[in-house]
Amino acid sequence: MHNSDQFTKQVKSGTNIQENKKRYETLLDKICLMAGVVTGILQLESTYGFLAFIITYLMAVIVYTLWICNGRPGSFYENTISDLLFDNFTRELMGFIMAWTFSFALIG
Amino acid sequence: MLDLWNVLLSGSAITAAAGAVAELTLDPQLKYWVLLPISAVMILTGILRQQDSTLIAPGVKGQPRVKLTEAQYMMKAQILLGNGSNINDESFNQRKEYLAKTLASGKYVARPKTENGKEAANPFNDPGTADAMMSMAKGNMASFIPQTIIMWWVNHFFAGFVLMKLPFPLTLRFKEMLQSGVMTADLDVRWVSAISWYFISVLGLNPVFNLLTSENTDNQLSMMQTQTPQGSEMMSQPAQVESQMKSLANDITIAQHECCFDNVETRVLNMYK
């Protein structure tokens, strides 16, 4: 019996996936740095600041998935959840904390 | 600076007396003469380091023709194994027979020319390996030296006073690290010295560098992609390559072929059912 699964499976390009990841990372960098600066300008402290980060990050992921990926992130990424949600989390959190601390100290 | 010390000391005294978090008044000049210069130096050094790593990266080197032929024959076998299902049985069998014969005979193994049966060169004396190790060492140095210098600079010029207030609370364990040089036992951990801004910058500047030098990193990525196959080939020895070729020949001989055109009509019809 012919195994048709092998041929009906969707083929993905590794180079394009890398490029998609890079673009997503750059977009998140921009969003999280700006969110950090805004949080600092608003003089938000402790929990409110981290809450601002979590909300911004999740909003960015949701908007990216629904708007830019047209609700089908599986077509552009291999492991959707890890690629879109977890891979960049620490990096963006550090960037956010830096921008937040900087603008908080500068304005305050 | 003396005024600042007075403010600091009185602030800490108030904290100790009240036993609660007290607001210190910091000299606004600190922002312009400490916070901004450290930030600017960190960003500029990061950009310089990236440019520097591009400059000291080894250029693309030419390969002898025999090496390329060897690598390409192996790649051809791997591609046939991976994508063989896209051609029909006849074409596959033709390629399979030819590649199995050629690879098993070791016809295209690049053997270095040896004079009068002399032993082949020691792999550790190979200029390619030495170059790769040297460039790795240079890369490490290029990232390690600037960090050390900046840390020394911050510690030397900006030590001994509180620079800023962190917007989030920290545990007492951080006190020793983040308030180094500030001799106040009761000061809240949120008031930190210049070295902590250095640490925060080191951890958080990656997104900034990505935005500032995204073009460079793209180029580096594509350069790395083109160089990788050559680099891996450079390390291999003829004996290793020959055994790899033989195992590839075995793989090809026993490979089962399954053409993607078999039952293609049924699959297409299933897709649009």
Whether B272 shows a pLDDT value over 80: the answer reads: yes
Largest Cα–Cα separation, chain A: 73
Distances (CA, A) of A83 to A41, A50, A61, B56, B209: 31, 22, 10, 32, 21
Q: pLDDT for B61-72, tens place per residue? A: 778 888 899 999
* Integer Cα distance of B230 and B9 in angstroms: 63
- Asked if residue B266 lies in contact with residue B116, where contact means CB atoms within 8 angstroms, the answer is no
Question: What letter would DSSP give residue B133?
Answer: H
The pTM for the full model equals 0.74
Whether B5 shows a pLDDT value over 70: the answer reads: no
- Asked if residue B96 lies in contact with residue B79, where contact means CB atoms within 8 angstroms, the answer is no
Each domain of chain A, given as residue ranges in start order, spans 27-107
Largest Cα–Cα separation, chain B: 92
Residue labelled with tokens 């130096």: B41
Q: From chain A, pick out residues whose CB is under 8 angstroms from the CB of B225.
A: 15
Q: Do B35 and A30 touch (CB under 8 A)?
A: no
pLDDT recorded at residue B233: 47
Q: What is the mean pLDDT of chain B?
A: 79
Q: pLDDT for A54-105, tens place per residue? A: 999 999 999 999 999 999 998 899 889 999 999 999 999 999 999 999 999 9
* Integer Cα distance of B147 and B140 in angstroms: 11
Nearest chain A residue to B260 by CA: give it.
A7
Q: pLDDT for B191-219, tens place per residue? A: 888 988 999 999 999 999 999 987 655 55
* Integer Cα distance of B195 and A93 in angstroms: 20
- Interface residue B149 vs chain A (CB under 8 A): no
Whether B47 shows a pLDDT value over 50: the answer reads: yes
- Interface residue B167 vs chain A (CB under 8 A): yes
- Determine the 3-state secondary structure of B164 from DSSP: strand
Length of chain A: 108
Torsion of CA B245, B251, B257, B259, to 10 degrees: -50
Element (H, E) at B165: strand B162-165
- How far B232 CA sits from the closest chain A CA (Å)? 20
Tokens of B108: 């295209």
* Integer Cα distance of A48 and B176 in angstroms: 26
- How far B252 CA sits from the closest chain A CA (Å)? 19
Residue B223's pLDDT band (boundaries 50, 70, 90)? low
Q: Do B204 and A99 touch (CB under 8 A)?
A: yes
Q: Vertex B246, ends B244 and B247: CA angle to 5°?
A: 65
- Interface residue B211 vs chain A (CB under 8 A): yes
Q: From chain B, pick out residues whose CB is under 8 angstroms from the CB of A40.
A: 167
Q: Do B204 and A98 touch (CB under 8 A)?
A: yes
Radius of gyration of chain A (CA): 18
Q: Do A46 and B168 touch (CB under 8 A)?
A: yes
Residue to mutate among A1, A43, A94, with most B CBs inside 10 A, is A94
Q: How many Cα atoms within 13 Å fall on the side-chain side of residue A12?
A: 13
- How far B124 CA sits from the closest chain A CA (Å)? 34
Among the listed residues B73, B47, B61, the one whose alpha carbon sits nearest the alpha carbon of residue B223: B61
Q: How many Cα atoms within 13 Å fall on the side-chain side of residue B167?
A: 31
Burial class (CB within 10 angstroms; exposed 0-12, middle 13-18, buried 19+) of A72: exposed
Q: pLDDT for B128-180, tens place per residue? A: 677 778 888 888 888 889 999 999 999 898 888 888 999 999 888 888 888 87
Torsion of CA A95, A100, A102, A106, to 10 degrees: 160
